[in-house]
Chains A and B, each alone.
Chain A
Amino acid sequence: GESVGLHLPTLSVQEGDNSIINCAYSNSASDYFIWYKQESGKGPQFIIDIRSNMDKRQGQRVTVLLNKTVKHLSLQIAATQPGDSAVYFCAENIYNAGNMLTFGGGTRLMVKP
């Protein structure tokens, strides 16, 4: 999701349900993507990455899907837990530009017990 003004898009899910967080990236030359989780008062924490030669990558309870045709990235979290509550950012990078991560607007995930 993209932020609008001072309001972050919010996704509210029930504990145990699956969550899907979406991100539209801007540059068709981007070839490396990362999802970060940021809890209140902390720095971004790496979750999972994917390179442009892949369309899916799985980690522990997380899956990232990449659709280069429509420049869309999604993060799926299985069996969402209260500890997953945070703001999630996607970040894109362009190989020839060095490691200049450009972050998307962020989505707040709220998990209801």
Chain B
Amino acid sequence: DTEVTQTPKHLVMGMTNKKSLKCEQHMGHRAMYWYKQKAKKPPELMFVYSYEKLSINESVPSRFSPECPNSSLLNLHLHALQPEDSALYLCASSKVPMNTEAFFGQGTRLTVV
């Protein structure tokens, strides 16, 4: 099983809403990542979790709040987003947080209205 599963696939939310994106992998990977991808642009790293601990936060605004409840799950909690936050949010995982291939999920297409 080389799958990273993200839910939901699509999400439309208002600027005052609170929502969460979920990511799950059962490959025993100990590093998990959130990336943001705007149209026609490459993915940009947001957060890295290494052995369930937040190791990297790429200066992401606090309206995005990551959570790693266990080694298989990664959440991204969203609150008071702006329309410019609309993007494809990608979750990825890798065996260890160092120089190994990262497997990506299909992404959640988020639209903020």
Interface residues of A (CB under 8 A from B): 3, 6-8, 31-32, 34, 36, 41-46, 49, 51, 89, 93, 95, 98-106
Interface residues of B (CB under 8 A from A): 4, 6, 31, 33, 39-45, 48, 50, 55-56, 90, 92, 94, 96-107, 109
24 A-B pairs within 8 Å (CB atoms) are namely A3-B40, A6-B40, A8-B40, A34-B101, A43-B4, A43-B6, A43-B90, A43-B92, A43-B107, A44-B90, A44-B104, A46-B101, A49-B101, A89-B42, A93-B99, A98-B48, A99-B48, A99-B97, A99-B102, A101-B43, A101-B102, A103-B44, A106-B40, A106-B42
User: Contact: B104 with A45, CB < 8 Å?
Assistant: yes
User: Contact: A46 with B103, CB < 8 Å?
Assistant: yes
User: Contact: B97 with A98, CB < 8 Å?
Assistant: yes
Instruction: State A36–B42 Cα separation when bound (angstroms).
Output: 11
Neighbouring A residues of B90 by C-beta, 8 Å: 43-44
Instruction: For B107, give the chain A residue with the smallest CB separation.
Output: A43
Q: Pick the most buried of B33, B94, B102: most chain A CB atoms within 10 A of its CB.
A: B102
Instruction: State A34–B102 Cα separation when bound (angstroms).
Output: 9
Q: How many A-B residue pairs have CB under 8 A?
A: 70
* Set A43, A102, A106: member contacting B105, Cβ < 8 A: A43
Neighbouring A residues of B56 by C-beta, 8 Å: 98, 100
User: Contact: B99 with A95, CB < 8 Å?
Assistant: yes
Instruction: State A101–B104 Cα separation when bound (angstroms).
Output: 12
Neighbouring A residues of B106 by C-beta, 8 Å: 41-43
User: Contact: B45 with A31, CB < 8 Å?
Assistant: no
Instruction: For A87, give the chain B residue with the smallest CB separation.
Output: B40
Instruction: For A106, give the chain B residue with the smallest CB separation.
Output: B42
Instruction: State A6–B107 Cα separation when bound (angstroms).
Output: 21
Given known pairs A3-B41, A44-B43, A106-B42, the reply for A99 and B31 (CB within 8 Å) is: yes
Given known pairs A6-B40, A7-B40, the reply for A101 and B45 (CB within 8 Å) is: yes
* Set B42, B43, B44, B50: member contacting A98, Cβ < 8 A: B50
Instruction: State A99–B4 Cα separation when bound (angstroms).
Output: 17
